Amino acid sequence: MLFNSIDFAIFLPIVFVLYWFVANKSLKLQNALLLVSSYFFYSCWDWRFLFLLVFSTLLDFFTGLKMQDALNHSKKKFWFWLSIIVNLGFLGIFKYYNFFAESFAELLGGFGFKVNPWTLSVILPVGISFYTFHGLSYVIDIYKNRIKAERNFVDYAVFVSFFPLLVAGPIERATHLLPQIKKQRHFDYLRAVDGLRQILWGLFKKIVIADNCAEYANHIFNHSADYSGSTLFVGAIFFTFQIYGDFSGYSDIALGTARLFGVELLRNFAYPYFSRDIAEFWRRWHISLSSWFRDYLYIPLGGSKGGTWMKVRNTFIIFIVSGFWHGANWTFIIWGALNAIYFLPLLLTNNNRNNMEIVAQGKLMPTLKEFMQMAITFALTVFAWIFFRAESLSHAIQIISQIFSSSIFSLPHYTDIKKSVAVIVLVIAFLLVEWKGREQQYAIAYIGHKWPRITRWAFYALIVFAIGLFMPSVESPFIYFQF
């Protein structure tokens, strides 16, 4: 069930009405409704993988209790590692087994040994990377005595599988979400309206920006050998806004939907393309994942407190693992390593925390220095996205070689150039709105608050009209569903 589908447009109001008008007097009933709704939502993708979600939830729930009640540290450690190994084992089998088998066969082939690897013909369960990380953070926090184990299975299961965040995040923490699930929630009209406004903006990002950019990005990348460097560069730009509109659009819909039910999820994006350096970019892009790796991998490894070698090692580990988390392909690993290379000079010169506030805060325009910093950071990001989008390393190298050839100076050529120009105009208008609202949680959070009501509603109607006008004929899945 896609957020941008008719099915979800029917599903959401039904759950909302039952939640606030039928189950509103009982917290237990509300949470039970959320759990049943979440399992139904997930089973709409493929009911066969629902057992995996339920098994993972039961595993972490019971191992959490066993750790909490363990009489000595050795037993606590046993249950901890059981949960970690089984969780990562399922993730490894479904997501990474074929990658390792094929890579090992290629390695042996390089030494003259011909091997036909045995691979698994299974599809990747949607959301497995996200709900696995929910469970991992939970058991790690119990093991480190940061939290106590949850003894109500329904409450814990809602934390893992709450449908707005189930298939593509944000990656929640038990310390943040579980207290909200256990607390009585009351309907707040203003919060609900704010949630609807964020959902609207998320749908605009996904349908108008991401899906239309995808049409050109996909065609150009899929037929890269037929195009000049300038056209491939434009294709990379299209993909840059496709992935941002797609993923941040999903996050906006997720946060807005959760707000309808009185729940606040972790923020996942904070205008990353307005960043002045790569360190700031990673504080603003996929925030829940970046902070997860920081807290559960980077800091335990020693973070940036050691010598130069430790700083370099830990930086490469966290970025390469982050890249590998996205998918079982060498392109993601190179993408992660490239971002580590971008990040290291800032870290080693202690400049990685220079830009902690939003750019040009309280001002209409950035300074020339800030504009140049944003342009350079954006260019580095676009270059890295080529590896993320390419089918293979050879494909990425072919595209980059063409971009850095003399054909980069030719005019971009595309068969439907007029419509692509219209999409570029839409992207520019979108960026202006994002810039205007960059100090808020999402771009249109406070735009129009002081306008006359008719003007404000006309603005919302214009967004709805644009969504209807530019909606593709076929529902397009979100990019991060494949991760």
Residues carrying an active site annotation:
326
Q: Residue 437 and residue 444: Cα distance in Å, rounded?
A: 6
Q: Residue 422 and residue 216: Cα distance in Å, rounded?
A: 12
Q: Where are the alpha helices (DSSP H) in 27-173?
A: 27-46, 50-69, 73-91, 97-110, 128-143, 153-161
Q: Residue 138 and residue 415: Cα distance in Å, rounded?
A: 51
Q: Residue 92 and residue 125: Cα distance in Å, rounded?
A: 12
Q: At a CB cut-off of 8 Å and minimum separation 6, what does 219 contact?
A: 235
Q: Residue 275 and residue 435: Cα distance in Å, rounded?
A: 12
Report whether 236 contacts 382 (CB < 8 A): yes
Residue 87: CB atoms within 10 A of its CB come to: 21
Q: At a CB cut-off of 8 Å and minimum separation 6, what does 449 contact?
A: 456
Report whether 131 contacts 170 (CB < 8 A): no
Residue 113: CB atoms within 10 A of its CB come to: 9
Q: Where are the alpha helices (DSSP H) in 223-307?
A: 229-260, 278-284, 287-293
Per the rule left: phi > 0, alpha: psi between -120 and 50, beta: everything else, 120 is beta
Burial class (CB in 10 A: 0-12, 13-18, 19+), 60: buried
Q: At a CB cut-off of 8 Å and minimum separation 6, what does 172 contact?
A: 134, 159, 162, 165, 265, 266, 288
Three-state DSSP class for residue 311 = helix
Structure tokens at 322: 């982050």
| 477 cis-preceded (ω within 30 degrees of 0) | no
User: In Å, how far are 56, 218, 386, 420, 427 from 214, measured between CA atoms?
Assistant: 34, 6, 14, 11, 12
Q: Residue 269 and residue 8: Cα distance in Å, rounded?
A: 23
Question: DSSP letter string over 291-305?
Answer: HHHIIIIITTTTTTS
